[in-house]
């Protein structure tokens, strides 16, 4: 039995048929973590004993002949900006090094209630701010496909853990591509649901009008099972809704896929472009109709994203002030008054990139610049959203590369912040418009994974996931 080939459904079959015990299965994953994690640095913490104990309980249920549900005994990793009760939650930051989560995030509670085993917390760029995993205060995560390369970010640990078979599935969060882009870099699948369909209660907020929790896995069905387990309206997150469009088309022959020409323009690595075009041809041969479309404001999307996101970051991260929780210099000689506590605590415990984004967001919201930057960006956001709405009047889905390049080398983009920001150029508009999108594995360039992004209209997840499943079947 190879861990790499195990889907949730296969694990469920193996443990219910008693071909392997849940304990044995969980121990095999834990061993894999023990062996690989020192090099990959995907996990910040692993809950070994509790995981084994929980597995034993499920085995007792199976022994007694009780039925178990599909998620029972499935090991899941959780990005360390999502709260797991009574466990440390650092968000990849020094400022939360000593923070113990007082409650479960809604998504974690739902997974636990369905019997999934939370085996550990995964590494991330500090406060989910970054596109390579290198901005974690606890060391960079490495790409399991090639240790010299970044795994993408900010859900770097979750993507690497799944790709290295340390867990079958994991949760991440996606503000401008943080689930899809690392999935693409690690050769796995990452799904960002429509804004509002999954509760963010217990997710450490980065940019509240953009943040969304989503699953990562090795096949579309696994990702779908996790998504269905965590979705739904939640009274603790007032932005959640429960609404889904009806799926009207079942077969690829009925589906119209739009290719936004702006996403294949300059800046796309030619080899990435070639692979995506091959996959488009595959879909066409399988009966899907392909049509070129235009999203005319694409060129403004990244700039818009970096204004809206940093503005919200500056506001959300104001809570790390050394007063309510986390590390603080309030008792130190360095501070004389309350203002000093804020100024010095944040100087000491926040990382460079986080400071940069707080500063940028503060600037864009400050007197004299608000209209020129923040308000202007929110208006461009309307145009970007309307571009998508117009395109979806003509086609069912849009298909693009997930990232303009294959994974880059560790350290390669640390010097110039703008080159790092470019990694989000094909994913961020989706968050600005609140749409669902999935990154599927499309192939490899020089033995490095390349991902493909399918974007759907708001609330089209059922349709999107079933088409993604059909597409993945064609390609593998």
Partner 1 sequence: MLSEKDVLNVSKLARINLSKEEKEKMRKDLTLILDYVAKIRELNLKDVMPTLHTLRIKNKTREDETRKQNVSFKKKLIGLAPQKENGYIKIKSVFKDR
Residues that bind partner 1 (CB under 8 A): 99-100, 102-103, 195-196, 209, 235, 238-239, 241, 299-300, 303-304, 306-307, 314, 318, 321-328, 330-331, 335, 337-344, 346-347, 350, 352, 355-356, 358-360, 362-363, 366, 372-373, 375-383, 385, 416-418, 421, 432-434, 458
Q: What is the DSSP letter of 247?
A: P
**CB-wise, 147 or 323, nearer to partner 1?**
323
Nearer to partner 1 (CB atom), residue 222 or residue 321: 321
CB of 357 to partner 1, least distance (A): 9
d(CA 407, CA 402): 11
* DSSP H helices in 286-371: 301-316, 338-349, 352-365
Q: Which residues of 209-247 are buried (b: 16+ CB within 10 A; e: fewer)?
A: bbbbbbbbbbbbbbbbbbbbbbbeebeebebbeeeeeee
Q: Which is nearer to partner 1, 314 or 441 (CB)?
A: 314
Angle between helices 8-16 and 48-63 (to 10 degrees): 50
Whether 93 is catalytic is no
CA angle 80, 85, 90 (to 5 degrees): 30
- What is the C-alpha separation between 214 and 99, in angstroms, rounded? 23
Q: How far is the CB of 125 from partner 1 (least distance, A)?
A: 17
Per-residue tokens: 97:
């090094």
Query: At closest approach, how far in Å is the CB of 129 from partner 1?
Result: 14
Contacts 24+ apart (CB under 8 A), 281-286: 282/474, 282/475, 283/252, 283/257, 283/399, 283/471, 283/474, 286/252, 286/470, 286/474
Question: Closest CB to partner 1 among 4 and 382?
Answer: 382
User: Distance of CA 461 to CAs 204, 227, 290, 435, Å?
Assistant: 24, 10, 20, 9
> Who's near 366: CB < 8 A, 6+ residues apart?
none
* Residue 246 annotated among the catalytic residues of the structure: no
Q: Is 166 helix (H, G, I), strand (E, B) or coil?
A: coil
Minimum distance, C-beta of residue 436 to partner 1, in the bound complex (Å): 12
324 versus 447: smaller Cβ distance to partner 1? 324
What's the min distance (Å) between Cβ of 343 and partner 1? 4
Report the C-alpha gap between 403 and 425 in whole angstroms. 7
Q: Which is nearer to partner 1, 56 or 330 (CB)?
A: 330
Q: Rounded distance, CA 397 to CA 458, Å?
A: 11
CB of 151 to partner 1, least distance (A): 24
Q: Which of 21, 51, 79, 110 is catalytic?
A: 79
> Is 156 tagged catalytic?
no
* CB nearer partner 1, residue 146 or residue 378: 378
Bridge partners (DSSP) of residue 408 are none
β-strand pairing of 397-401 with 212-217: unpaired
Q: Which two tokens stand for residue 46?
A: 């692993």
CA-to-CA distance for 155 and 192, rounded, in angstroms?
A: 12
- Catalytic-labelled residue, pool 21, 132, 154, 328: 154
Q: How far is the CB of 13 from partner 1 (least distance, A)?
A: 39
Q: By three-state DSSP, how is residue 466 classified? A: helix
Q: How far is the CB of 104 from partner 1 (least distance, A)?
A: 13
- Which of 51, 155, 158, 178 is flagged as catalytic? 178
Q: Are 107 and 232 in contact (CB under 8 A)?
A: no
- 77 vs 350, which CB is nearer to partner 1? 350
Token match 């195990």: residue?
6
Catalytic residues: 79, 154, 178
């Amino acid at each position: 039995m190879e861990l790499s080939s195990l889907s949730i459904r296969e694990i469920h079959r193996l443990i219910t048929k008693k071909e392997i015990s849940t304990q044995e299965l969980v121990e095999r994953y834990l061993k894999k973590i023990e062996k690989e994690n020192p090099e990959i640095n995907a996990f910040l913490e692993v809950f070994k004993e509790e995981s084994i104990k929980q597995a034993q309980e499920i085995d007792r249920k199976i022994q007694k002949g009780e039925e178990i549900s599909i998620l029972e005994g499935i090991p899941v990793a959780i990005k360390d900006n999502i709260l797991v009760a009574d466990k440390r939650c650092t968000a990849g930051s020094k400022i939360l090094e000593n923070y113990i989560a007082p409650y479960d995030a809604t998504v974690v509670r739902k997974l636990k209630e369905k019997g999934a085993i939370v085996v550990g917390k995964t590494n991330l760029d500090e406060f989910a701010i970054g596109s390579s995993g290198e901005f974690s205060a606890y060391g960079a995560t490495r790409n399991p496909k090639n240790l010299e390369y970044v795994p993408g970010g900010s859900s770097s640990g979750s993507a690497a853990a799944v790709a290295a078979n340390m867990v079958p599935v994991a949760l991440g969060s996606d503000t401008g591509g943080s689930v899809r882009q690392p999935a693409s870099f690690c050769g796995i699948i990452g799904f960002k649901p429509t804004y509002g369909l999954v509760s963010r209660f217990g997710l450490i907020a980065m940019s509240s009008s953009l943040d969304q929790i989503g699953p990562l896995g090795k096949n579309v069905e696994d990702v779908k099972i996790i998504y269905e387990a965590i979705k739904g309206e939640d009274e603790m997150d007032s932005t959640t809704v429960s609404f889904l469009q009806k799926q009207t088309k079942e077969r690829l022959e009925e589906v119209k896929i739009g290719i936004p020409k702006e996403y294949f323009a300059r800046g796309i690595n030619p080899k990435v472009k070639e692979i995506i075009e091959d996959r488009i041809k595959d879909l066409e041969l399988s009966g899907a109709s392909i049509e070129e479309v235009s999203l005319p404001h694409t060129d403004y999307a990244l700039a818009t994203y970096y204004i809206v996101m940093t503005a919200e970051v500056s506001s959300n991260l104001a809570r790390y002030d050394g007063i309510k929780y986390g590390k603080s210099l309030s008792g130190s000689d360095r501070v004389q008054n309350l203002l000093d506590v804020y100024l010095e605590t944040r100087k000491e415990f926040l990382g460079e990139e986080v400071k940069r984004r707080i500063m940028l967001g503060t600037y864009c919201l400050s007197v004299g610049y608000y209209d020129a930057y923040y308000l202007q960006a929110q208006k461009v956001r309307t145009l970007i959203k309307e571009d998508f709405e117009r395109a979806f009047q003509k086609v069912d889905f849009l298909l693009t590369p997930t990232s303009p390049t294959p994974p880059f080398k560790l350290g390669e983009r640390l010097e110039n912040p703008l080159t790092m920001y470019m990694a989000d150029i094909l994913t961020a508009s989706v968050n600005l418009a609140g749409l669902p999108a999935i990154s599927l594995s499309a192939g490899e360039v020089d033995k490095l994974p390349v991902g493909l992004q399918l974007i759907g209209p708001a609330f089209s997840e059922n349709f999107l996931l079933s088409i993604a499943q059909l597409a993945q079947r064609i390609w593998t």
